[in-house]
Amino acid sequence: MGLLQELCSIPGTSGHEAAVRDFLLRYIQKEKKNWKVKPEIFQGNDFQDCIVLKFGKPRTAIFAHMDTVGFTVRYFNQLLSVGSPDAESGTRLVGHDQHGPIDCELEFDKDHHAFYKFGRPIERGTPLSYKINFKESKLYIESAYLDDRLGIYAALKVAEKLKDGVIVFSCWEEHGGGSASYLAKFVYESWGVQRALISDITWVSDGVEHGKGVAISLRDRSIPRKEFIDRIITIARKHKVMHQLEVEGMGSSDGGELQRAPYPIDWCFVGAPEQYAHTPHEKVHKKDIDSMIELYGWLMKEL
């Protein structure tokens, strides 16, 4: 799990994904010689901080977002949320401004407004993220930012054996999205790709449990096309991949943005469930990680 731990440790709140982008580009350049197919890499000004990898003759795209929740420094020690962080008073936050590294403490007033406690003023606009405490046990991984560094990790593991497909690393997902639409335009107009899998992390809930397999989401706030979802479930059952069916009425992902884009792209959220979402202590069962990677391998072959 060294790669996953390294991914979790890279700061990358929404709008601040450059360090994650640079790490991925270095990793891909180093590892692609060992992959079954060497991908064509698309990145640069036309993609902002996003990355697109094209393998062979693609039919299906995997979307995994690079950004995380966190905070932005405002004025007078105030903090504004990036996405929807869920942290207690006393949580350690880290970052860097022109005066040096930052390791500060999160505080809340009686109205639950967020502030930082630090020995000096932090430059306004500085992004702050959770200090990482990565823990691995026999059954679980626990760390901040498994959402969605685990989705990235799964995509990179699938890339090792991928013959035909597209892997898309997107930005801003946690704070309103904005990149998935133009990335959908690119993959559809370049290669006619009309299927997308959202490699992201969902919730442990009253109907989705730890250790029962990857979750195939039948709906969240958005509703994907049932015919496409049924194909995914059929493939999972055919290959006896441990999985769970998720039905929720809230929450969203890059899939919702794909559904609103002006392109006929089917999508489905397929991801491991985690406990304590958007906290510094997100927790995922290792069996669910394994089944997520296994199912993506079959889906990219057969869809």
Give the sheet arrangement for strand 273-275, strand by strand. Answer: 135-136, 140-143, 282-285, 273-275, 202-203
The pLDDT score that the predictor gives to residue 270 is: 98
Same fold, 2-68+135-302 and 70-130: no
Percentage with pLDDT > 70 across the chain: 100
Class assignment of domain 70-130? Answer: mainly beta
Q: Are the beta carbons of 62 and 300 closer than 8 angstroms?
A: yes
Residue 284's pLDDT is what?
Answer: 98
pLDDT in tens, 238-257: 999 999 999 999 989 999 99
pLDDT band at 62 (very low <50, low <70, confident <90, very high): very high
pLDDT score, position 121: 97
Question: Can you give the residue ranges of every domain in the chain?
Answer: 2-68+135-302, 70-130
pLDDT at position 4 is 98
What's the confidence (pLDDT) of residue 130?
98
User: For 204-227, how does the pLDDT look when each residue is reduced to its tens digit (9 = 90+)?
Assistant: 999 999 999 999 999 999 999 999
Taking only the tens place, the pLDDT of each residue in 135-157 is: 999 999 999 999 999 999 999 99
CB 196 within 8 A of CB 60: yes
Task: Report the chain's mean pLDDT, rounded to a whole number.
Answer: 97
User: Are 48 and 182 spatial neighbours (Cβ–Cβ below 8 Å)?
Assistant: no
Give the tens place of pLDDT for each residue, 63-84. Answer: 999 999 999 999 999 999 999 9
The tokens describing 45, both together, are 């000004």
Calculate mean pLDDT across residues 170-191: 96
Residue owning tokens 């990235």? 152
Nearest-angstrom CA–CA distance, 213 and 271: 9
What's the pLDDT tens digit per position in 1-31?
Answer: 899 999 999 999 999 999 999 999 999 999 9
CATH no. of 2-68+135-302: 3.40.630.10
Which residue is it, tokens 């990677």?
293
